Structure 1
Amino acid sequence: MSWFFYIWNMLKRDPLQIIPFLTYGTSKHLYLRGRALEDEDIDLSKKGWFNLLVNSWKRFETDEIRNTAIQISVEGNEFHLKTDAEGYYLYDVSTELDFKTDAEGWLSYKVKYNDNSLKRHIQQDNLFKGQMLVPSQEAKFGVISDIDDTILHTGVTSRLKWKVVVNTFFKTPLKRKALEGTAEFYELLHDTVNPIFYVSNSPWNLYRYLEFFLKSNAFPKGPILLRDFRTPFDKTPKLELAHKYHEVFNILKTYPDLKFILIGDCGEKDAYIYLDVVEKFPNRIAAIYLRSVEHKKRMKRIKNLFKDYKELPVLIVDNSSEAIMHAKAHGFIEM
């Protein structure tokens, strides 16, 4: 009987996909990552309560393709590796490859399954396109930005985080609105060459949701760095540093000659993380912007934290126009 159900499960299996995440690297270092999953056919443009609930369920009820051979091709060079126990792949190596990027600094690559036993489940071309950002040498600085309550109203300060649940599970990305003026502010900072990195504590399950949101709201294209959604039974190794620390540190180490502007909010730990970054990476942070939140105690705490701070420019942002004026005054945006 067990063989019957095994065969049935194989026959009814959804087609497979690989989602290459937007990442970053250098001309001498490849940092390619993504995830192999069954294709649940999530259409983020669909409207209506039923489609919304179905899509929300599909994002978190993922069927990973674990410990499976894949092949990455970068301009004719092939690299072979396996996905991990959660279906993720990571190719993080120094290289002497001579590759070219497009006008905005993006290196394109291709990834595919390299396991013959999976052929029957790949109901499309077994070729998935990914991109890695190599910042221009003309970049004056980089920007590392939080997402939740920094550019997208999420509600992390709400009691029991009920607003987070409502916004994440009961609103499509088309219904979510960017905080007023943030896309314009980021585009001015980007100025076609300055790289923008989006770092969030949201799980990778929301990658396409957030990618769709950023694109729909005309934010500059940039690497989106999320975290693994851990369950109580997750046995994969934990990071030594908290996710946001890890990602910010990695970006700063990857580009040692580039200064960065850090953007976050006053809601949770961004202020404390960023101050720690300033201490560990002296002379690397050009400014800090912290979006205000509707929480009196936290706002008072953050304002007191920076009351006499003189190390570098810091602005608690009430509106984006104010941030743009501040950035112009400090030379981050051309007048």
Structure 2
Amino acid sequence: MGISSRLSSARGALRAVAPSRPSDRPHWAARIEDVKNAVVGRALRRMHWEPRLQPFHGLGSGHRVRVLARVLYASPGTPADFHDQPVHDMRTMAVRGWRNFAGQVVPHRPVQVLLGDEQFTVPADRAGIVDAELEVALPPGTHQAVLWTDPGNEVTADITVVPDGTAVGLVSDIDDTVMVTWLPRPLLAFWNAFVVHQSSRQVVPGMPMLYQRLAREHPAMPVVYLSTGAWNVFPVLKRFLYRNGYPDGPLLLTDWGPTHTGFFRSGPDHKHRALAYLAEAFPGIRWILVGDDGQHDPSIYDEFARQHPDRVDTVLIRRLTEPEQLLAHGSRRPLATFPHGPGGPSTVTAPDGHGLLFALQRLGRIGRGPQEADEAGRRVA
């Protein structure tokens, strides 16, 4: 059935609403950003620019899914699916990096979502982000939600529905865990926005193989990439993961702009909220948590493990080298260590994916393949 006929026959109602604004006065930076968005938005509309949607990869269970997207202005004649191209389209992905940071968001725009046979209306937030949980019955697997702001600008967003009864899931940090850029953290936004060639970022040795082995060990395992990176770099990160053989999965990123309480959003708070969402949305899953010791991952994972001891399977921490520690936070020593005591989850540390895989094999968490143990043993030292 075509999109147009599905739209006409879809049924449903408003099932998700944006969080209400706090009663106290917003932070001055947020007020300035709101004025800027209003002024620029009016100017673009006078030039006949139109809203366009950038879809993100969503996830959910068989009865409730999370739909993610961003609403941006686009010049007249821009195809509706400009942001909705295959991840392997190298030219499209190369263009998008800087355009995503230069784009103007459309705050509070109502967005229509067609998923299955149900239609929903959800609003974008003040940063143009659509982040809505919708109650809809879907079978396990990958589905496509249809999103639009006006007839004719429909795009599709992938939705991964996790099968009921899934026992294990994987949550992975990105920067310094699966990817190394060899730049100080303050420059990562610029790097990801303007430098888009494959040679500009390096894969952490052995991490794609580790994730593939975990996926084979747990065939129904959902893979969620959790990062403090901005939604602006979603296409760049998606392309990197695809090109280097990482399992496909949703990315939970954040908006770097001002909030009602501060100039920038808190990265650790974003990760705490995302982990709490996963624990609530998938109560039967025990998570393998993967991060690095260059920032706050060990303490964040420890707090989650203490709050939800039955939701953590294993914690895997990549140990950064001294130069990487310097770039991450300005010191040669790790910023944080995993502080939990006896009775906490199994914690494995190693300098790369080969060492982590070998350690998991020694613990009996992954079957040992031919010659893998010898190779990993040389790397873990």
User: For this structure pair, what is the TM-score category when the shorter chain's length is used for normalisation?
Assistant: 0.7 to 0.9
Counterpart in 2 of 1:79? 120
| Alignment length (residue pairs) | 309
Counterpart in 2 of 1:172? 196
Tell me how far apart the structure 2 counterparts of residues 46 and 113 of structure 1 sit (CA, whole Å): 26
Please say if 1:143 is aligned against 2:166.
no
Write out aligned runs for 1:110-259 (5 A).
110-114=146-150, 125-137=152-164, 139-155=166-182, 158=184, 161=185, 164=188, 167-169=191-193, 171-175=195-199, 176-191=201-216, 192-231=219-258, 242-259=269-286
Tell me how far apart the structure 1 counterparts of residues 64 and 294 of structure 2 sit (CA, whole Å): 35
Q: CA offsets, 1:122-164, max 9 Å, x none?
A: xxx52111122222346331111100100011347x4xx3663
The one-letter code matched in structure 2 to 1:255 is F
The percentage of aligned residue pairs carrying the same residue is: 19
Please state whether the residue corresponding to 1:283 is helix, strand or coil: helix
Q: CA offsets, 1:57-109, max 9 Å, x none?
A: 4222221122223211012211122222221122224x3x43234xxx22221
Counterpart in 2 of 1:316? 349
Please say if 1:327 is aligned against 2:354.
no
Contact 2:192–2:236 (CA under 8 A) maintained in structure 1: no
Q: 1:237 and 1:79, CA in 2 relative to 1: closer, same or farther beyond 3 A?
A: farther
Counterpart in 1 of 2:133? 92
Please say if 1:70 is aligned against 2:94.
no
Tell me how far apart the structure 2 counterparts of residues 171 and 177 of structure 1 sit (CA, whole Å): 13
Q: 1:90 and 1:236, CA in 2 relative to 1: closer, same or farther beyond 3 A?
A: farther
User: Structure 1: 5+ residue runs without aligned partners?
Assistant: 120-124
Write out aligned runs for 1:48-67 (5 A).
56-67=97-108
Quote the RMSD (CA, aligned, Å). 3.5
Counterpart in 2 of 1:38? 73
Counterpart in 2 of 1:109? 145
The one-letter code matched in structure 1 to 2:161 is V
The one-letter code matched in structure 2 to 1:224 is L
Contact 1:205–1:229 (CA under 8 A) maintained in structure 2: no
Q: 1:8 and 1:71, CA in 2 relative to 1: closer, same or farther beyond 3 A?
A: closer
How far did residue 110 of structure 1 move?
0.6
**Residue 27 of structure 1, aligned match among 34, 38, 62:** 62
Contact 2:293–2:336 (CA under 8 A) maintained in structure 1: yes
Contact 1:32–1:91 (CA under 8 A) maintained in structure 2: yes
Contact 1:266–1:299 (CA under 8 A) maintained in structure 2: no
Tell me how far apart the structure 2 counterparts of residues 323 and 260 of structure 1 sit (CA, whole Å): 16
Q: 1:306 and 1:9, CA in 2 relative to 1: closer, same or farther beyond 3 A?
A: closer
Please state whether the residue corresponding to 1:129 is helix, strand or coil: strand
The one-letter code matched in structure 2 to 1:242 is D
The one-letter code matched in structure 1 to 2:366 is I
Q: CA offsets, 1:260-297, max 9 Å, x none?
A: 11100010110111111111001221111111112376
Q: CA offsets, 1:166-204, max 9 Å, x none?
A: 743453152222111111111111224211110000111
Tell me how far apart the structure 1 counterparts of residues 137 and 232 of structure 2 sit (CA, whole Å): 33
The one-letter code matched in structure 1 to 2:212 is E
Contact 1:37–1:63 (CA under 8 A) maintained in structure 2: yes
The one-letter code matched in structure 2 to 1:154 is T
Tell me how far apart the structure 2 counterparts of residues 267 and 235 of structure 1 sit (CA, whole Å): 24
The one-letter code matched in structure 1 to 2:56 is F
Contact 1:107–1:132 (CA under 8 A) maintained in structure 2: yes
The one-letter code matched in structure 2 to 1:188 is R
Tell me how far apart the structure 1 counterparts of residues 307 and 193 of structure 2 sit (CA, whole Å): 37
User: Structure 2: 5+ residue runs without aligned partners?
Assistant: 1-39, 76-81, 326-330, 369-381
Tell me how far apart the structure 2 counterparts of residues 307 and 284 of structure 1 sit (CA, whole Å): 15
Counterpart in 2 of 1:291? 318
Q: 1:299 and 1:309, CA in 2 relative to 1: closer, same or farther beyond 3 A?
A: farther
Q: Under a length normalisation based on structure 1, what TM-score does the superposition of the two structures give? A: 0.79
Tell me how far apart the structure 1 counterparts of residues 264 and 347 of structure 2 sit (CA, whole Å): 36
Contact 2:169–2:286 (CA under 8 A) maintained in structure 1: yes
The one-letter code matched in structure 2 to 1:181 is G
Please state whether the residue corresponding to 1:229 is helix, strand or coil: coil
Contact 1:136–1:194 (CA under 8 A) maintained in structure 2: no
Please state whether the residue corresponding to 2:295 is helix, strand or coil: coil
Tell me how far apart the structure 2 counterparts of residues 45 and 92 of structure 1 sit (CA, whole Å): 31
Contact 1:200–1:225 (CA under 8 A) maintained in structure 2: yes
